[in-house]
Amino acid sequence: PAANSDLVVDLSDISVGACVMSLRHEFMANLVVGYKEFMAQTNCNVIITDGGNMEPEKQVTNVENYIAQNVDGILCQCISVETMKDTLKHAMDAGIPVGIYPYDTSVGATTYFGYNEYDWGYSLGENAADWINSKLDGSAKGGIVIAIAQELQVPVKYIGVGEGIDD
């Protein structure tokens, strides 16, 4: 525990379950680094569990354990939102706020962390379309996925496939 003078805010009476997909992956291991920094700054009790080797059933068990411990909140980086839905809803029915990744409103989570993948993909498609439309003047080669082309109402152009990095 941090000394009181080192605390940004004292949350020592708060307990949060944090279930990551797998500690074997660098991105998720870095989440744990962030959780530990948060704990050092706040004295919040963050119970970190590992989803094993991307095992949804293990995550279900971890979240069920959080519910049994009556934690004050749950953060779940879901391996499979579909597999987690009932368990997360059970937590919320028990009055435990739930934050999830990925952004999936079908769970009805209290909050989401990460980013909205649809919006991110849509923005990526818009930027790709702008780039393709501006560069397809003979100096660039490229194309666009049909679904994005239909959504953004841009033409699909099939240009030769280059073999070099600058093609």
The per-residue pLDDT for range 69-86, each reduced to its tens digit, is 999 999 999 989 999 999
pLDDT at res. 119: 76
List own/partner pairs for 95-103 with CB under 8 A and 24 or more apart.
96/66, 96/67, 96/70, 96/71, 96/72, 97/72, 97/73, 98/73, 98/74, 99/73, 99/74, 99/75, 100/75, 100/76, 101/76, 101/77, 102/78
User: Quick count: other Cβ atoms within 10 Å of Cβ 80?
Assistant: 15
Average pLDDT over all residues of the chain: 80
- Return the SS3 of 21: coil
pLDDT at res. 19: 93
Q: How does residue 23 score in pLDDT terms, banded at 50, 70 and 90?
A: confident
pLDDT at res. 85: 94
Please indicate whether residue 162 or residue 14 has the higher confidence score (pLDDT): 14
Q: How does residue 134 score in pLDDT terms, banded at 50, 70 and 90?
A: confident
User: For the residues 101-129, what does the mean pLDDT come to?
Assistant: 77
Is the pLDDT confidence value at 132 over 80?
no
Please indicate whether residue 44 or residue 121 has the higher confidence score (pLDDT): 44
Is the pLDDT confidence value at 166 over 80?
no
Is the pLDDT confidence value at 144 over 50?
no
Q: How far is the C-alpha of 125 from the C-alpha of 23, rounded, in Å? A: 32
Q: Which two structure tokens, joined as six digits, stand for 50?
A: 């590992």
- Return the SS3 of 101: strand
Within a 13 Å sphere around the CA of 52, how many CA atoms are in the beta-carbon half? 8
- Determine what percent of the chain is predicted with pLDDT higher than 90: 41
Helices 81-93 and 56-68: angle between axes, nearest 10 degrees: 10
Q: How does residue 105 score in pLDDT terms, banded at 50, 70 and 90?
A: confident
> Alpha-carbon torsion 122, 100, 28, 34, what sign?
positive
